[in-house]
Each structure stands twice: as structure tokens, then as C-alpha cells.
Chains A and B, each alone.
Chain A
Amino acid sequence: GAGVSQSPSNKVTEKGKDVELRCDPISGHTALYWYRQSLGQGLEFLIYFQGNSAPDKSGLPSDRFSAERTGGSVSTLTIQRTQQEDSAVYLCASSSGSALQSSYGYTFGSGTRLTVV
């Protein structure tokens, strides 16, 4: 597609429920990233996929968070047993490689605003 697409744009869920957030990157982009932005905070790195390599999961805050990328394209971020502190905007970005190779750095999606009540 023309840009990075995320769905849903907004999600309200009850504490303890599981949620799935979807990211559809730009076609041909091999790198895909998930970031989280809590109120008043900067962007917090969560996980990074590059081609067929093992993902860099170093930013996932707990084992309730997981992500997968099927067929090197669409990615799903799953949060199990959601907690109120999980409330944030979850941003996905894709790039054709390193920020240096792509003079435009990342292309971000519009994000999913997750509210856990």
C-alpha cells in the first residue's frame, strides 16, 4: 500500500482481556518496528523484525507482550491479560533497511490508541 496501515485506530478493552493490534507495512519494506507511546513519554521501542532474521524482542516490557510477522509482511502485536498501564498509543513503522539506507528513515502508521479500563 501507499503507507503503513494500522488497525484498529482505537481500542477500548477491559482489564484482563487479550488484544491484537495489526500493522500492514509498506509493500517491499523488509524492516518492521513496534513502538509504544505513553502519555507524556517518548517513543519506547518494543520489537523489530528484519526479513527472515530472528526478531529483536529486547524492548517487550513483559511476557504478556508478543508479536509475529507472517510471510514477511503483516505483523500482529498481542497483549495478553491487559493491564491499565498498557494504555498507550502503539505505533508501527516500516523501512526498506537501516535509517541510513533510507534517507526518509522510518515511515510510521497512524497508530492504535489502546485504553484499558
Chain B
Amino acid sequence: EDKVVQSPLSLVVHEGDTVTLNCSYEVTNFRSLLWYKQEKKAPTFLFMLTSSGIEKKSGRLSSILDKKELFSILNITATQTGDSAIYLCAVEDEDNTDKLIFGTGTRLQVFP
């Protein structure tokens, strides 16, 4: 059964800290991995990763995929209170095209 596991479940940091969020997965035929940020109810897209070792970057956020070890990390540097959210990792399985399997998410709280 396809599975996505995120860690830690919860993280509390101070502004300026750097955080690393982890996502490991088991899928029959991997197609892509996506990261989302969920602040209220609707998750918003951050990154899509399909190839190992290629870092995707957007401002203070970056992410990389390791298809050999079956995991991805999401890094946030110089965190701000506006980064407080649930970060969701999702994987697309080639055998179940277009159906994303989500992890439980990591709840990040950034305090001033």
C-alpha cells in the first residue's frame, strides 16, 4: 500500500531559526512528489519534484528529492511568523495516475 510519512509531526521554533521537514514515501511506481503549505483550509502549492538531487528553491524555501532513499526534505531558512502553517507532502503513483497520497503533515509554529 502506498504510504507517505512526515516528520516531525510538530515543530516550534523562534524567528530566524532554520528548519528541516522530512518526508519519506513508499509507492509502487513513483511519479512525482509535491509539497504544499496549508495555513487556513486550502493547501497552496510549493514545489513539485521528479528528479533526484536537483534542488528547487523559492526565496527562503528549498526542497530536494532522493529517489534512492525514498525521501524529500523541505528547508526553510530565517523563519518568520508567516511561515507558521501545516506543511504537507504528497506523492503521485504512476499506477494510480492523478491521485495524490498525502502525509499527515508537519505543523510548524514560528514565534517572534
Question: Which residues of A are at the interface with B, using a C-beta cutoff of 8 A?
Answer: 4, 31, 33, 35, 40-45, 48, 50, 56, 89, 91, 95, 97-100, 103-111, 113
Q: Which of B58-112 contact A (CB under 8 A)?
A: 88, 90, 92, 97-105
Interface size of B by CB at 8 A reads 26
Q: Which of B8-67 contact A (CB under 8 A)?
A: 31-32, 34, 36, 40-45, 48, 50
Question: What chain B residues lie within 8 Å of A50 (beta carbons)?
Answer: 98
B30 vs chain A, min Cβ distance (A): 11
Judging by beta carbons under 8 Å apart, are B98 and A42 in contact? no
Cα–Cα, bound, A35→B41 (Å): 12
A21 vs chain B, min Cβ distance (A): 13
Question: What chain B residues lie within 8 Å of A103 (beta carbons)?
Answer: 48
